Structure 1
């Protein structure tokens, strides 16, 4: 039996939180608890979780998941669930390494050999998207995602809609499939118009058409839209997803494996989605551990369709990109829009611990920008 001896967290640039679990026999597993803009709060939650987990049998992943979720009295939310996610990923990585198999084997085995992926273009304020799409094609991608709009007023004129349509048209002309992320920037008075205008140009999906705190509005939009509607990065458990499934409000579920309870919970969310004929496309503009966890769930989930991949995303930089902390970056090579299923033990990525520890000395204090409209009022980022 391996018992948990230590749980460490590392804030590493550009904006990630890595989790390292070591047992009393020296076995190690890695996970990712990144919560963009709130890393310090997650570290505090990880410290509290260690009080309960040190000394526990490291093989009892579900028991520890239930204990952290249920016995803290206060349940759910981004901070607690992100901490739980990083721990859960690390425990699955640890178990897979001890058994010498990828995590997907422990989830029932893979149902596919390759994972379709997409990359970001355009940044927070999209511009020059056609050239960026061509660059992504040269990198091996056949699909991209971009923000559909800049910050938008609660009620905007037709020019703002025309700009969104023109950007989508330009990228579609490159031959790439395009997911359009409205990022919760569009409010109900505009959302119907924006979706209707984008649909003739064939978006692969439309993401976060309005914020998930408005389920009734999302259900209304779903009843009228033809394009697939995607949502889920700000939902943190199967209970958060349940009303959207029951209302037939979304076509694509996008849980984030660093926010929504890790591999254990997102595997359950994937199964729930399948029961409602909803596809799975995990959210992941994060680091290599989060991405590897997504790949493990994707490999074993029949309703998986496509995976977000953060290489070269505008939040990263040359010294801290997706592959920076890996010693086996070749396993994430993109060709023909696909990455082979990860076959190494555990999560399937190897972390350069020395580089992580050195980077953590610098750490980060990443915060998203504050946007204001022409009247001085706050806008959704």
Structure 2
């Protein structure tokens, strides 16, 4: 019987944590367990799970391992534990796919499509220059974009703040025309009263969706916000399990869910979340402003999920100032984008080959990424 015999963790720029898991018969699987800005914390959780539960175990029993890691500690859920489980789960699926010489999606029932659409970020954290950036990305072949709606906002802000957000979206819409989809991310930095106002005002320029209009702890406000607009509502990047998503499915206010394959329990859990969403006629667009292992994991689930709509990816995103997605791959062409789509990989496991020498080299670099702390004019902390 094959056993899990070793693992290594690599913190690499710009803000990622890679996990390498090895079996007694020489198979290697990769995962990406990280909470952006909390890599050290998640590293400790991964080490605890592997040392306490998985070393010496059969790597094939993925569902049983998932249940043990999730339920075995009594306290469960949340970003740290679920991200640690997610990265381990990705690595175990990578191993299983390599064992059977098949992509993970073949082991999950087979593909439901030949390719998946992708979108590209524009404009940065405090959105600016969005019209020019939109033209550039459309010229590069993308047919869907996403931008932040606003910089930091007061809980109840002035009419100019709303007008500025509306003007940015107008400029993008006029720059790219009606055939390009433009998602607008509220980033959880908008309070309920401002979300209602913005949702209504932005509708004129037909956003693809409005994302995370309020923080998940205020998901009870989503029906009220949805009542103000016909624009699809998206959320889910800070929700970590099918139990977190259950409430929004039952509300009926969300049209697009965005679970993160490196935060929401990995391939095992997100496939279940996708199936739940399908039963409620809700589409899925996995959150992924992360690295190549997370993206490869997303595409495996997209491939076999009929309700997968589009895939976020972080090539050239504003966070990737020191390293980018393709830098860590032996064959970057696996993520070639054509006409706004990426083809499904046909390699075994996650369908990517990690450049281990480059990973080890970059792991020697100092990495200490933390999200900025923004403050309002009065000195109080603002949502980033």
Normalized against structure 1, the TM-score is what?
A: 0.98
Alpha-carbon displacement from aligned partner over 1:141-179 (angstroms, at most 9, x marks no partner):
111101000000001111011111111111112133100
| Counterpart check, 1:106 vs 2:110 | no
Name the SS of the counterpart of 2:328 in structure 1.
coil
| Counterpart check, 1:282 vs 2:283 | no
Tell me the distance in 1 between the aligned counterparts of 2:211 and 2:281: 18
| Deviation, structure 1 residue 47 | 0.7
Tell me the distance in 2 between the aligned counterparts of 1:321 and 1:139: 18
Tell me the distance in 2 between the aligned counterparts of 1:370 and 1:215: 23
Tell me the distance in 1 between the aligned counterparts of 2:146 and 2:131: 12
Alignment of 1:35-114 (within 5 A): 35-51=35-51, 52-114=53-115
| Corresponding position of 2:308 | 304
- Report how many residues are paired: 380
Tell me the distance in 1 between the aligned counterparts of 2:5 and 2:273: 30
| Counterpart check, 1:22 vs 2:22 | yes
8 Å CA contact 1:222–1:249 kept in 2: the answer is yes
Tell me the distance in 1 between the aligned counterparts of 2:348 and 2:369: 32
CA RMSD of aligned residues (A): 0.9
Tell me the distance in 2 between the aligned counterparts of 1:134 and 1:286: 24
Runs of 4+ in 1 over 3 A off after TM superposition: none
| Corresponding position of 1:152 | 153
Q: Which moved more, 1:130-139 or 1:105-114?
A: 130-139
Tell me the distance in 2 between the aligned counterparts of 1:95 and 1:57: 11
| Corresponding position of 2:271 | 267
| Counterpart check, 1:232 vs 2:233 | no
| Deviation, structure 1 residue 139 | 2.4
Unmatched tracts of structure 2, length 5 or more: none
Unmatched tracts of structure 1, length 5 or more: none
| Corresponding position of 1:343 | 346
| Corresponding position of 1:190 | 194
| Deviation, structure 1 residue 50 | 1.2
8 Å CA contact 2:37–2:368 kept in 1: the answer is yes
| Deviation, structure 1 residue 363 | 4.3
Normalized against structure 2, the TM-score is what?
A: 0.98
8 Å CA contact 1:179–1:206 kept in 2: the answer is yes
| Counterpart check, 1:135 vs 2:136 | yes
Q: Which moved more, 1:186-195 or 1:172-181?
A: 172-181
Tell me the distance in 1 between the aligned counterparts of 2:27 and 2:194: 53
